[in-house]
Structure 1
Amino acid sequence: MVKAAILEKPGNGLVIGEVELGEPAPHEVLIDTKACGLCHSDLHFIDGAYPHALPAIPGHEAAGVVRAVGSEVKTVKPGDHVVSCLSAFCGHCEFCVTGRMFLCLGADTRRPADAPVRITRNGDEMVNQMLNLSAFSEQMLIHEHACVAIDKDMPLDRAALIGCAVTTGAGTIFNAANLTPGETVVVIGCGGVGLAAINAAKIAGAGMVIAADPLEEKRELAKVLGATHTVDALAPDAAKQIISMTKGGVHYAIEAVGRQASADLAVASLRRGGTAIILGMMPLDCKVGLGAMDLLSGKKLQGAIMGENHFPVDLPRLVDFYMRGLLDLDTIIAERIPLEDINKGFDRMREGHSARSVIVFD
């Protein structure tokens, strides 16, 4: 039995309880979770903005140590330090074989309907696994294609952030934008994902990196991560300020909040031929669009789920960036908390004043 934070009813927070994990199937890995970041995506499910089968264990931004592996696992072994990733891939669908594994629906990475479930409580009650991971737990039982081994010298509390925030934010710069040195970027929203995008834009050699956020303390934090300029995202002339300082608008506008207004600001900040990339999980009824003149100006709008990552390759590289002093993960972490304080951590997230909270397991 292991402790986990369980979502039983949206809007009521998480309940700390005990669950039981099964034995690893042939392609599965049992991991002792060492750290897990609190992500705004989890909050969407916890508060009921996005539906999910319940009860369930959220959490998807994690790092840990492999305890056991199934008989056919080839990618990791017991004792390996790993980072998990929700982009579990099958390896043989259309998206995988055309190099877009981040779009894989991962059907073969979940247990068949007639197989025993991975997580139970109270004897035989099924606990749903969220995003193939359920990392708000002392252990995870996942498919081998949902984790990757990393350098054992990498601190696991910082490695956890790479599993989502950094993969999404930095991956958007490196993969989706494929930024050319000298191009300009605005990042709207300076939470964990936005700060990672800002840091990656600096690494990639962006000519100007603008951080747009309503809170001054987050704009100041963005400067530490590499922002060259800042803008109050709620200022009525925010788009005009961005267009003025870039002499025509940015090449890339990254939306990292999940709000209609921030997506609209991203589109409004573009130069001719620029691209707006929407990362945030917006309310399901939101729509973002380009006007006729935007289209005639060659502007583009796209999503970039999980930073369009190729995580078995990208994550070890991001670890290497941290180890070489290029990627700043220390600044992104606002606090380290025990599992029992998880609801307090999400309360602070709702207030919007801090960057990333990380659960650290003993």
Structure 2
Amino acid sequence: MTAAVMYEQGLPAPYAQSRPFRIEEVELDGPGDGEVLVEVRGAGLCHSDLSVIEGLRKRPLPVVGGHEGAGIVREVGKGVQGLKPGDHVAMAGVAGCGQCRTCLAGRPGICQAVSAARSEGLLATGARRLHLADGGRLNHYSGISVYAQYAVVAPQSLIKMDPAVPLDVAALFGCAVVTGAGAVFNSAKVKPGASVAIIGLGGVGLTAVMAAREAGAARIVGIDVLPSKFDLARAVGATDCIDARDPQAVQHVLDLTHGGVDYAFEISGHPSALQMAQSITVRGGEVIGVGVGQSSATFSVPHLSWVCEERVMRGSFMGGGVAQEDVPRYVDMFLRGRLPVDRLRSEHIGFDKLNEAFDLLHGGGVVRQILLPHGN
């Protein structure tokens, strides 16, 4: 099959020239016991993928990229239940073993066993089904590797989708939607009438805007360094938008919200944005860290105000819930027009435009580009 393979991280932009992804033919084994073969029909380009290209988070190489996708089940291995050939599925780069402490507590997204397998370039089953054309070792990315025409994955990474959802839209549910909406509904549990700020208006951030509106937030402040995103942000629910580069940006938020927001969502993964999130949160409010950046990055919390003002610092990974339970609810919201995530789509691309597409993402001029591995 055709796939996009990364052999080196940290190559410089423009990626149209350095070409971090090589498009080539690779080998894919069929599904083993407890695995599923999916024909990939759409794969989103996410800032998390960009951070891997940049080398901010290391991955075993070479690797087939992509962690947000959707497709059609073509074959199921022995022991797989609830899925059959022909089913439409979204693929998420998160899965749980179902047996460890965190999984039993209803938090499969932070399963240590599966995280360890993923960090070694393996599937959640511990297997490797990808190989280079010469038989050499080839790693899986986040347990799915959807920048390819087909993927073998563990069923824990699959969410059965209503066929009424176009597959290019279904792909967004694998990361952007489950992460952005889950941060609002699961991690923060935003209350009606609350004030909210979302820092970073990409696919995840704009989904968080939609979810905050659905949760009944009274004030939703979108913050980004690119004012070109503000029209879409307002269209999907933002009541106010502020340029993060404005020296008075923090004060503007404080003035708009009478002293600060109840919930500040940091989507970009930059420590400076986390600092802003702390500065715009009211006493007793919450900062929810959603974006992932450089693995070695740190940020500081003013200890006295953290304690005396009862501020909450909360991480939210991939929506902080159970994708198989959450996504059907989000799909229902989408089909009823309450979560218009199809508006996140910027354009469709083929393999030939993949590297150039990451230049566009790096420049901030797009929200979600969708790779169509089969060209249609």
Category of TM-score, reference length = shorter chain: over 0.9
Matches within 5 A, 1:41-60: 41-60=48-67
> Aligned pair 1:156/2:167, yes or no?
yes
Q: How far did residue 122 of structure 1 move?
A: 2.1
Residues in 1 aligned to 2:196 and 2:319: alpha-carbon distance in whole angstroms? 16
Which SS does the other structure have where 1:307 is aligned? coil
285-294 vs 247-256, which moves further: 285-294
Structure 1 unaligned spans of 5+:
none
> Aligned pair 1:275/2:286, yes or no?
yes
Percent identical residues: 36
Residues in 2 aligned to 1:27 and 1:285: alpha-carbon distance in whole angstroms? 35
Matches within 5 A, 1:44-193: 44-105=51-112, 106=114, 110-112=124-126, 117-193=128-204
Q: Which of 232, 237, 241 is the aligned partner of 2:243?
A: 232
- When normalised by structure 1's length, the TM-score is 0.96
Give the counterpart letter for 2:88 in structure 1: H
Structure 2 unaligned spans of 5+:
12-17, 118-122
351-360 vs 186-195, which moves further: 351-360
Which SS does the other structure have where 2:318 is aligned? helix
Residues in 2 aligned to 1:171 and 1:233: alpha-carbon distance in whole angstroms? 24
Q: How far did residue 295 of structure 1 move?
A: 2.4
Residues in 2 aligned to 1:75 and 1:21: alpha-carbon distance in whole angstroms? 23
Which SS does the other structure have where 2:3 is aligned? strand
Q: How far did residue 257 of structure 1 move?
A: 0.7
Residues in 1 aligned to 2:235 and 2:342: alpha-carbon distance in whole angstroms? 11
Q: Which of 340, 344, 361 is the aligned partner of 1:332?
A: 344
Give the counterpart letter for 1:101 in structure 2: P
Is this contact kept in 1: 2:44–2:368, CA < 8 A? yes
Which aligned segments of 4 or more residues in structure 1 are displaced greater than 4 angstroms? Answer: none
Which SS does the other structure have where 2:60 is aligned? coil
Structure 2 partner of 1:208: 219
1:103-146: CA deviations, max 9, x gaps?
Answer: 1132685344xx6x310122421110011011100001001111
1:16-61: CA deviations, max 9, x gaps?
Answer: 0111111211100000000000011111111212111111011011
Which SS does the other structure have where 1:68 is aligned? strand
Structure 1 partner of 2:7: 8
Which SS does the other structure have where 1:136 is aligned? coil
Give the counterpart letter for 2:4 in structure 1: A
Residues in 2 aligned to 1:261 and 1:219: alpha-carbon distance in whole angstroms? 21
Residues in 2 aligned to 1:262 and 1:359: alpha-carbon distance in whole angstroms? 29
Is this contact kept in 2: 1:289–1:301, CA < 8 A? no
Which SS does the other structure have where 1:302 is aligned? strand
Which SS does the other structure have where 1:231 is aligned? strand
Is this contact kept in 2: 1:75–1:144, CA < 8 A? no
May I ask how many residue pairs the two structures share in their alignment? 358
Q: Which of 317, 328, 331 is the aligned partner of 2:329?
A: 317
Residues in 2 aligned to 1:29 and 1:283: alpha-carbon distance in whole angstroms? 32
CA-atom RMSD in angstroms: 1.3
Q: How far did residue 332 of structure 1 move?
A: 0.9
Q: How far did residue 85 of structure 1 move?
A: 1.0
Is this contact kept in 1: 2:35–2:77, CA < 8 A? yes
Which SS does the other structure have where 1:64 is aligned? strand
Q: How far did residue 286 of structure 1 move?
A: 2.3
Is this contact kept in 2: 1:6–1:14, CA < 8 A? yes
Give the counterpart letter for 1:200 in structure 2: A
Residues in 2 aligned to 1:294 and 1:121: alpha-carbon distance in whole angstroms? 51
> Aligned pair 1:259/2:270, yes or no?
yes
